[in-house]
Amino acid sequence: MHRLIGGAVAALGLVLGGIAASAQTPTLYFSAIPDDDETRLMERFGKVAEYLSEELGVDVQYVPVKSYAASVTAFRNDQIQLAWFGGLSGVQARLAVPGSQALAQGTEDGAFVSYFIAHESTGLEPSEDFPLDAAGMSFTFGAQTSTSGRLMPEFHIREETGKAPEEFFSQVGFSGDHGQTLRLVSTGAYQVGALNYTVYDTAVAEGAPEVATTRVIWKTPPYPDYNWTIRGDADERFGAGFTEKVKQALIGMDDPELLASFPREGFVEATNDDYAPIEETGRALGILD
């Protein structure tokens, strides 16, 4: 009888201990810059959360955010510990949380480009030269802190024309995201716009109606862009070596369905130094302090 009671108590202790340990294991929250509409983002990143949870042995949850700035704020405030940032938002996040690290980038992200697109009514044609004939037309960027939808396009507008965007174009707007830029130019609400090349190429591949009235007229020289960044205190919270474990899980992601959600062919190691050109450009344009 005593043995039975003792065994039951021991078993109960193991169960309670397991529950307590589970309760003490923190959840890893991650997010991504909202470069597409929310429904598509939930579809894209819900399965990524499942993959990471399996690989890391901790609960992982995707947290949607409403804007690029909100993703950086959530990272700074420790509401998320990991994020899929653009080049500029990644720099902003790492500056806000010292010790944070860029872990990985898509195989395409070391040499990313932006497309300048135009409505068919403009008469602008594809060229290897910057579209100087767009002078006086209306133009939209994407989000204000988007690398591919604002930072690099503005840099090249100033570089090629010697003017600020507001001086070169008749009207300048900010659509909020790449998909909306494509929609606005496709309807003629803006005559010209700049966006992430993968968004436009995906629209072409899917036969989206917006591509019927738009065309790519110029693409920027390559620059570093999207990246996975983790907070500098991750190892302290999740255990020694956790940051490296996350990096390996990201680099090891090879499921075509998961990769298509980014869309990327795969992920490779990245470091903060890879994004020094983005930081320099951001400071030069007064976007970074």
**pLDDT band for position 19 (cuts 50, 70, 90):** very low
DSSP code of residue 115:
E
Q: How far apart are CA 3 and CA 82, in angstroms?
A: 49
pLDDT at 18 over 70: no
DSSP string, 199-222: HHHHHHHTT-GGGGSEEEEEEPPP
pLDDT given for residue 289 in this prediction: 76
Mark residue 136 as left, alpha or beta (left: phi above 0; alpha: psi -120 to 50; beta: remaining). Answer: left
Interval 118-165: pLDDT, tens: 999 999 999 999 999 999 999 999 999 999 999 999 999 999 999 999
* Full DSSP string of 3-66: HHHHHHHHHHHHHHHHHHHHHHSPPEEEEE---S-HHHHHHHHHHHHHHHHHHHTS-EEE---S
More confident call, 127 vs 19 = 127
Which strands sit side by side in the sheet containing 28-32, from one edge to the other? Answer: 60-62, 28-32, 82-85, 227-230, 101-106, 267-269
pLDDT above 70 covers a percentage of the chain that reads 91
> Does residue 51 surpass a pLDDT of 60?
yes
Distance set, CA 21 to CA 13, 16, 53, 78, 217 (Å): 12, 8, 17, 22, 57
285 or 82, which is more confident = 82
Q: What is the pTM of this model?
A: 0.80
Q: What is the mean pLDDT of the chain?
A: 90
* All domains of the chain in start order, with CATH: 2-109+224-284 (3.40.190.10), 113-219 (3.40.190.10)
22 pLDDT tier (thresholds 50, 70, 90): very low
Strand 192-196 vs strand 28-32: parallel, antiparallel, or unpaired?
unpaired
Least confident segment among 23-27, 60-64, 188-192, 211-215: 23-27
Report the greatest alpha carbon distance in the chain: 93
